[in-house]
Structure 1
Amino acid sequence: MQARVEVAALDAAMVVFEARVDKAINQRVHAFRASVLAGNPPWLVDVVAAYHTLMVVYDVQTTEYAVVERFLNQQLHGVNNQELAHTGTLHEFKVCYDADLGMDLTRVSELTGLSTSAIIEHHSAPTYHVYTIGFAPGFAYLGDVTESLQVPRQSTPRAKVPAGSVAIANQQTAIYPRPSPGGWNLIGRVAGWQFETGLTMRAGDQVKFIPISRAEYDQLEQQARERAND
């Protein structure tokens, strides 16, 4: 898998892989990030992973770009020749796909031709990969949504999406960690969601959604409120 190293800023280099949203590419990015951190060069300040890039920030007082570039190319050679193994944490979330909670289920059904039960089945079947964390703290971009369930974002975003809402847009799905504006299609909600839960997810982790009934959702929500009031 080809990648190139280029200047990103006066104190940063960017390692660029193939520019598309792809699980294998993103796994290679995170494997490369781990390799850079393990190498622990004395000039390293920070590493920031995204979908298909890794930005490496370095101390310009102690090194120069040519040294950083040489180190990164050496690390790339090692990563490109290793077998990737998943090492991230698996997070499981109980989701109620009720029409009152997933306000866009009807829209998704109309666009895909799938029934509500089929939407639930298609969405909950995969184990999702956390590509990156962004937009807001705890907002994890998950993929990949099965092709039969992929729908575009809303043309007009909502002013406020409830915390814990499970949504889809194109090939990705996500959980809104806090009430916020949002244009993704809402299809359910995590039971007993806490903002702190979202902060435990890291890029490279995995996520599994477990469908539950509305009665179980209401019970878990009540238990969460009681714990919060203790």
Structure 2
Amino acid sequence: MASSMQVSIEVAGIDSAMVVFEPKVNKQLNHQVHILRDMIIRAQPSWLIDVVAAYHSLMIVYDIQTTDFDRVEQWLKNQLNQLQQHKVDGHQANIHEFFVCFDAEFALDMERVCEHSCLSSSEVIERYSAETYHVYTIGFAPGFAYLGDVPEPLQVPRVDTPRTKVPAGSVAIANQQTAIYPRTSPGGWNIIGRVAGWRTQSGLQLRAGDQIRFIAVSKQRFIEIEATANVRFEGSAGSTEGQS
């Protein structure tokens, strides 16, 4: 990374510091956040309690019984110097693939996306599925991963009136971001499809910095995957009950 990197270290609380990069949503910038996170975790200083990555910042929680902000700040400055001088390895991202059905039954807002983008539903599906998405951060609700970047023609604003109930596994778009609703919940994003077999994948822990690919499948294939997933889920539940 260039030596002109804009970054500051700020007090975030009585026991935490915040490393703040440029305030924008940018994949390359977020990549640097995750490299720094990996560096800190690998170094594992004795005072470290937690590291939380966001779009363009990193919060470091430390043990105030063994250190203070000034010492943590100096240590972080040394880590940033290494980051600027290319003395660290890149972030190793996990790649996850999900089968998605874009049938009208699951694509509740496809018509709206088509109208905004001036594309047909098949063109929306093709462009959306051609991308590899970056997990910027995890938030809003447990397991809700904010992914980007959505192709520019598909960057549709949130719906005017949020739904009170969005089915688990729904794939949605809101401007530059996309996401999978990890569980049934309220939501105001544009629903364009549903992940097949999400019932057995809902415990999957997506990590900030990971990569996501969506593979389009027919409704028939969706039904087949769902049937297999339900058998696997019920079998797992029965096994658990037998052990209790």
**TM-score bucket of the superposed structures, by smaller chain:** over 0.9
Q: Which residue of 2 aligns with 1:46?
A: 50
Q: Which residue of 1 aligns with 2:204?
A: 199
Q: Which residue of 1 aligns with 2:238?
A: none
Q: Which residue of 1 aligns with 2:100?
A: 95
Q: Which residue of 2 aligns with 1:186?
A: 191
Q: Deviations over 1:125-146 (max 9, x none)?
A: 1100011111111111110001
- Whether 1:61 and 2:65 are equivalent positions in the alignment is yes
* Contact 1:97-1:188 within 8 A present in 2 as well: yes
Q: State the alpha-carbon separation in 1 of the partners of residues 127 and 92 from structure 2.
A: 25
Please point out which of 143, 166, 169 is paired with 1:138: 143
* Contact 2:38-2:91 within 8 A present in 1 as well: no
Please point out which of 216, 221, 228 is paired with 2:226: 221
Q: Deviations over 1:172-229 (max 9, x none)?
A: 1100010000000000001111264453211111000000111111111122222233
RMSD: 1.3
Moved more, 111-120 or 219-228: 219-228
TM-score under structure 2 length normalisation: 0.91
CA deviation after TM superposition for structure 1 residue 16, in Å: 0.1
* Contact 1:16-1:54 within 8 A present in 2 as well: yes
TM-score under structure 1 length normalisation: 0.96
Moved over 3 A (4+): 83-86, 195-199
State the secondary structure of the residue aligned to 1:13.
Answer: strand
* Contact 2:37-2:53 within 8 A present in 1 as well: yes
Q: Deviations over 1:82-105 (max 9, x none)?
A: 276351110000001111101100
* Contact 1:133-1:139 within 8 A present in 2 as well: yes
Q: Which residue of 1 aligns with 2:242?
A: none
Corresponding pairs, count: 230
